[in-house]
Amino acid sequence: MSDKIPIDLGSVQKTLFLPLWGRAEETRKSNPMLLDPAAVRIMEQVDFNFSQAAETIDDLTKIAWIKRSLISDQVIRKFLQEHPEGTVVNIGCGLDTTFDRVDNGTVRWYDLDMPDTIQLRKRFFEESEHRTMIASSFLETEWLDELLVRGNVFFLSAGVFYYFEENTIKDFVLELVNRFPGSELLFDACSPLGLKIANKKVVESAGLDQTSHLVWGLENRETLLEWHERIRIINTFHYYKSDIPGLRNKLMGTVSDILGIQYMIHLGL
């Protein structure tokens, strides 16, 4: 009988294992771009078949997952330099380990995800005086009432928004705009072409079915500015502009950046 932790998650929630696996694989390299020993520990303990992902997901996708984490770390560290006692909310946190890398000892941190995911997350991470887990869909916005906000607020949403229709995300972002003026939001997006590539080469290749497909491809990031007059684009981060290993990766990555296939957007609300 296996002593590994059984997995009972919804279809979309299961996708959290893909970037977890990517971070673990990177950590095991001799010269990793990112160190995430927690990802290695979790991957070894859960009863989840990573073999199909290992066989089919290419280096460029894994690099994107690592760069997403590195960018998130960079932007949040800057936010905490300016607001040491600020509030950070990790929307759709999955088994993400951002807090462990950026914790300054004074941040008020919230990890938010679906109840089944939070139940699994609590097997590996503990709450503390300044770190709280909230079990809720981010769309059931009653959870916003639970936030004990100190200073400025930063919302992180990595690997989440493109699983929902654009109007659904728009309504949620407008809720943040109205309730937390002056807050910031960092999330990853992909183009309609990126959507097709991700569904074929990542989701399906990893053995997940169509219920795990991405659905929102952002045609033009400038359309975000039309959602509300107070929304502004602080920065856009492409994954492959900095040095990455491998000539093929550099060439394909350059094309991806030029076409805006996948990237992160930092918004002021």
**Full DSSP string of 206-257:** TT--GGG------S-GGGGGGS-TT-EEEEEEESSSS--SSHHHHHHHHHHH
Q: What is the per-residue pLDDT for 5? A: 77
Q: What is the per-residue pLDDT for 1? A: 41
Q: What is the per-residue pLDDT for 196? A: 82
| Residue (of 159, 206, 198) closest to 50 by Cα position | 206
Task: Please check whether residue 18 lies inside any domain of the structure.
Answer: yes
Q: What is the per-residue pLDDT for 255? A: 77
Query: CATH number of the domain that 177 lies in?
Result: 3.40.50.150
Task: Please check whether residue 99 lies inside any domain of the structure.
Answer: yes
Q: What is the per-residue pLDDT for 10? A: 55
Rounded CA separation 48/267 (Å)? 35
Task: Please check whether residue 2 lies inside any domain of the structure.
Answer: no
Q: What is the per-residue pLDDT for 212? A: 59
Domain of 119? 11-268
Q: In what order do the strands lie in the sheet with 153-157?
A: 131-135, 108-113, 87-91, 153-157, 184-190, 262-268, 232-238
| Residue (of 14, 19, 16, 92) closest to 57 by Cα position | 19
Q: What is the per-residue pLDDT for 18? A: 83
DSSP conformation class of 203: I
Task: Please check whether residue 3 lies inside any domain of the structure.
Answer: no
Task: Please check whether residue 172 lies inside any domain of the structure.
Answer: yes
Number of domains comprising the chain: 1
Rounded CA separation 217/163 (Å)? 9
Residue with structure tokens 């109007």? 167
Task: Please check whether residue 181 lies inside any domain of the structure.
Answer: yes
User: What are the φ/ψ torsions at residue 189 (nearest 5 degrees)?
Assistant: -135, 165
Task: Please check whether residue 214 lies inside any domain of the structure.
Answer: yes
Task: Please check whether residue 5 lies inside any domain of the structure.
Answer: no
Q: Model-level pTM greater than 0.75?
A: yes
Q: What is the per-residue pLDDT for 63? A: 87
- The one-digit pLDDT tens for each residue of the chain (269 residues) are 457 876 776 555 567 788 888 999 999 999 999 999 999 999 888 877 777 666 777 788 888 899 999 999 999 999 999 999 999 999 999 999 999 999 999 999 999 999 999 999 999 999 999 999 999 999 999 999 999 998 899 999 999 999 999 999 999 999 999 999 999 999 999 999 888 877 776 544 445 445 557 889 999 999 999 999 999 999 999 988 767 777 777 777 787 788 888 999 999 99
**Beta-strand runs (E) in 67-177:** 87-91, 108-113, 131-135, 153-157
Give Cα 216 distance to the centre of its chain: 15
